[in-house]
Amino acid sequence: MLTLSTAALIVFHELGARLGVVTGKGLLALVRERYGHRAATGAAAVLVVANLGTLCAELAGVAAGGELLGGVPKVVSVPLAVLVIVTLLIAGSFHRVEHVLLAISAVFATYLVSGLLAHPDWGAAAQGAVLPGLPLTRDAVYVAVATLGTTLAPWGLSFIQSYAVDKHLTPEDLRYERIDVVSGAVLTGVIGLFVVLACAATLHRQGVPINDAADAARGLRPLAGSFASTLFGLGFVGAALLAATVVPLSTAYSVCEAGAHHGDVSASVREAPVFYGVFAGSLVVAAVIVLIPGVPLLSILVSTQALNAVLLLAILPFLMALGRDPAVLGVHAVGRTGRWTTGVTYALVALSVGALLVLQLLG
């Protein structure tokens, strides 16, 4: 499932980046121009819902990671994370924000080390990457769909296009942007692979139960050593912080594009009040939800990703239609091969979501 999800990520993120570079407009801006205000508002509503769920999941990750690494309660770690993220965006220029996010992303290397320290079965890993072995049960398909939703997430499709616009790239830069996007998607798959390896070689093999997000990292300690557990925890927090910065950016881009409001990272708060208001507001709403006493953080982490996969069915058709339209992309419009790959990818997403819905109905 991870292999298929990574392939889908490459296909649609390349298309999103191409649309942003060639047109100089974000996804929702193009939807508004080509299909009208109502369609753009509907697509924006889907993205807001999907992004809010994902943002709750990321702040839940901050909460779990804080408790794991330093015993920091979530009433401290979550508001502190929100304050740091909002300050970073408001006080920093585009390039400063970009550099900080790149620095945070370096923490993903900890997952690679954790996976190596867990001493996985490399032969079984290689076989599982190319040969499906998924049991057709509701729980298994649910996790598979969540894996698809967390990899090819609606927020990422919107963000990758708006981000290309914010970088002020031109069609002459498209070759380099493709290298950037494809290499990033491949790294996403590789890091996901090592997360799976680290857990499969330790927690799954020993039957360690996972009741909350912190259990995943704590469970590695007696099986792979405290070093692996610490590295896993650091990667967990770093990933959550990075996504908790990017996801509300995607929301802010989408709302501004749908409503024809000015919004980019280099603008000041006075120049782009809607952009920064949506950014900060979505963080605050997600933080309040996560801080509700007794809220099941692990359920939020998984269920919101499954919801992402369902909502992809509403967002991907816009990308596919825009990518195929010569009036939008001119000579850069998707050709026969691109139509085939995007169509097959969409069909696989629909098949996965459909299988989950059938199994849910069957109980």
Q: How many domains are contained in the chain?
A: 1
CB 115 within 8 A of CB 192: no
pLDDT digits (tens, 9 = 90+) for 162-212: 988 988 888 999 999 999 999 999 999 999 899 888 888 888 888 888 776
pLDDT score of 363 = 67
pLDDT digits (tens, 9 = 90+) for 205-239: 888 887 766 677 777 777 777 777 777 777 778 88
For 200-262, what is the HEC assignment? HHHHHHHCCCCCCHHHHHHCCHHHHCHHHHHHHHHHHHHHHHHHHHHHHHHHHHHHHHHCCCC
CB 345 within 8 A of CB 148: no
Mean pLDDT of 297-316: 85
pLDDT score of 33 = 92
pLDDT digits (tens, 9 = 90+) for 317-338: 999 999 999 999 999 999 888 8
CATH number, domain of 76, equals 1.20.1740.10
pLDDT score of 302 = 82
Neighbours of 355 (CB within 10 A): 17
CA–CA separation, 64 vs 77, rounded Å? 9
pLDDT digits (tens, 9 = 90+) for 76-88: 999 999 998 998 8
Q: Which domain holds residue 227?
A: 2-362
